[in-house]
Chains A and B, each alone.
Chain A
Amino acid sequence: MAEQKTIFAKLKRGLFMTHTEIIEKVKESLTPDLPLDQSAIDGLEEGLLGADVGAELTALLVARIEKRVRDERVTSMERFTQVLREETRALVPQREASTIDITRAKPFVILVVGVNGTGKTTTIAKLAARWKNEGYNVILGAADTFRAAAIEQLQMWADRVGVPIVKHKAGSDPGAVAHDTVTAAKARNADVVLIDTAGRLHNKSYLMDELSKVRRVIEKELPGAPHETLLVLDGTTGQNGVNQAAGFLEAAKVTGMIVTKLDGTAKGGVILSIMRQFDIPVKFIGVGESADDLIPFEPNAYVDTLFE
């Protein structure tokens, strides 16, 4: 747990509540018998908006916090921060970390999907390294046959991590690659199968249909698979993340999310909206370039970092 905390520390860089002006604003307004004044509310609101929490959720959260501060006559900064955390935590339906149990099935098939440029291939490499280090047999499937050099990119990762890869030529049918990967995994008695797919925008129906087909091919080849379909979400994404989740949920029956690029200054607040609207837990978050920078997501720790 201690280790987990230091990793989460990576997330804290530039987080909004450290902005002294906002803290000062809130402090000033914490007077007995008086509700929070407008400047404090504004500060709180801006902090949440700036973290991509979104207008609707921010309004809801601010109203609830305001009410509690008034009802409970909160006057200390410490207590105020506590209220903030409690109320934000209450917004997340799923409180416990949701891990991926790859021992549930063998081979355990994971389909990785998302819009262009979110970091699907890199994430697959990190997951492969993680499970390989834990002693599992991992196999990769290069079903992104569209983007230039996507196959080469996954191949290089396969070589680096030291896991086998199933690939076809560029431009070939991604369904066929997925099929062959699952067949190979069964034949080789692999534990985990990670299938990369081409990035696609969720509003392009023909591409989403293609993804549904890839999924069906896997299902047919191995009943019960894919056991997880992971949506890779770019942590810098704004409110469009909600549309992405909806689109991929419909076309590919997404079961979990991985949020990448949280080592910059983005907070990824849109995941709060996504988790509230859909039953898609965040499984991992990416906070850096190396394999161990992909860390299991802790809902509470995440919320806390928003208010450090």
Chain B
Amino acid sequence: MFDNLQDKMDRVFKTLRGEASLNEWHIDNALKEIRIALLEADVHFKTVKDFTARVRERAVGLDVLTAFSPAQQVTKIVRDELQALLGGNEVGLALVGSPAVVMMAGLQGSGKTTTSGKLALHLKNRGRRPFLVPCDVYRPAAIDQLRIVANNVKVPFYEIGDLRDPIQIARNALQEARTLLHDTVILDTAGRLHVDEELMQELTTIKNDTRPSEILFVADAMTGQDAVKSAREFDERLGITGIVLTKLDGDARGGAALSIKSVVNRPIKLVGVGEKYTDLDVFHPDRMASRILGMGDVLSLIEKVEADVDRKEAERLAQRVSKDKFTLEDLRSQLQQVKKMGPMSQIVNMLPGVAGKVKDEDIDENAIVRMQAILDSMTKKEREYPQILNGHRKKRIAKGSGTSVQEINRLLKQYLQMKKMMKTFSKGFGARKFGKMMKGLPPEFLQ
């Protein structure tokens, strides 16, 4: 679809020849296409209007560069502006107070209970002691659901006993958390419509009672134009501190993210990207911008590979492997290629068929950094002829790279395995195909 938008814009700018700057007619036509793309992505119509006005302002009179086509220039402005609107740097959770209270709120079916479980696991893995509290006494079995979720992620759960008042539950749970020394309390509140006065009042009371340091508005990525109204209402009543966007593993373009962001101006802190409890991710504005414009992650991976991996280098490596001359020097240059593409987790999750199956914790980013350090601490001769590496040399390399001899031995073992595997592979595949494979990831990088 992004191709569509790009194509359309190319067509718009086709008539632009020999002019020094982008003229208004061209830009307005380009903006028409952008407007449709954003509306199709469910961005709120008012947000679209403000947004296109901003882009227009930046684009009019812009010098036509020789290096880029006008369509590319305008696309760049659009993406930059989108990214800026969606939020700059990653914003973590503010967990203040003992215990710190995190309140989950949102419409029915947005994914609060599942997200509460995912968040509890996320915090537990970062050394906190979360406590899951069920405040949804309305939906049948909602309490059972959170109890099962808590059990699955092995996080303590507050048993409400005979209590049926969410306000009382929250108060008592906070007391119990203090006694049991839980440092984070996650309140899973009932889903409600923003027009439901009584239930909105209930949330306000819980808020005033428990003074949460985070009030997260949980929103479904598939939401349409109504996202603006519900988010605004929840924000006005509660003063939300952040947004969690769920069901991003679907194929919705997720324009709601932009609408909500522009209305409440709070950071999107987390995104739900799958059915498993580990499927909670930090928010990437750049990826979201591409997604809203209709450019999938697979496309951005292709772009990344095209841009970052030196074709000649890959061919050269393939040649060396097929001649059984793959040395540590080659491994080093391959590692550099991989590193250029960005964090491993990001790359792996962009691969079709792999997305969602390999979890971030399965990938040790540091392992690559350490391998790199070891290789960098070797002399060129050592990398070319690994067999000369004796105990003395290894000690020096360990010292230089801040690692240990054991780690160096492990790397050497992996290298030999890799070499063996590559040899087998290259026989069956031929150098060309293997060159393509080299762009992929050796399984050694996955623990």
Contacts and interface: CB of A to CB of B under 8 A. Distances in A.
Interface size class, chain B: 35 or more
Contacts, number: 145
B195 interface: yes
B251 A202 contact: yes
A202 B250 contact: yes
B223 A237 contact: yes
A240 B148 contact: no
A240 B145 CA distance: 27
B230 A264 contact: yes
B42 A240 contact: yes
Nearest to A243: B251
B223 A238 contact: yes
A265 B144 contact: no
B145 A263 contact: no
B194 A149 contact: no
Nearest to B138: A289
A55 B220 contact: no
Interface centre among A13, A149, A234, A261, by most chain B C-beta atoms within 10 angstroms, is A149
A50 interface: yes
A201 B145 contact: no
B318 to A, nearest CB: 33
Interface string A35-51: 00000000001100111
A203 interface: yes
Interface stretch (A1-9, A24-32, A152-160, A175-183): A152-160
Interface string A193-229: 0000000011110000000000000000000000000
Given A239-B224, A264-B230, A203 B250 contact: yes
Interface stretch (B12-20, B102-110, B307-315, B408-416): B102-110
B72 interface: no
Residue of A55, A117, A119, A236 with highest tally of chain B CB at under 10 A: A236
Contact of A265 (B113, B222, B230): B230
A87 to B, nearest CB: 20
Nearest to A199: B109
A118 B107 CA distance: 11
Contact of A152 (B46, B110, B144, B256): B144
A115 interface: yes
B39 A234 contact: no
B247 A115 contact: yes
Nearest to A156: B140
Contacts of A237: 220, 222-224
B255 interface: yes
A238 B139 CA distance: 25
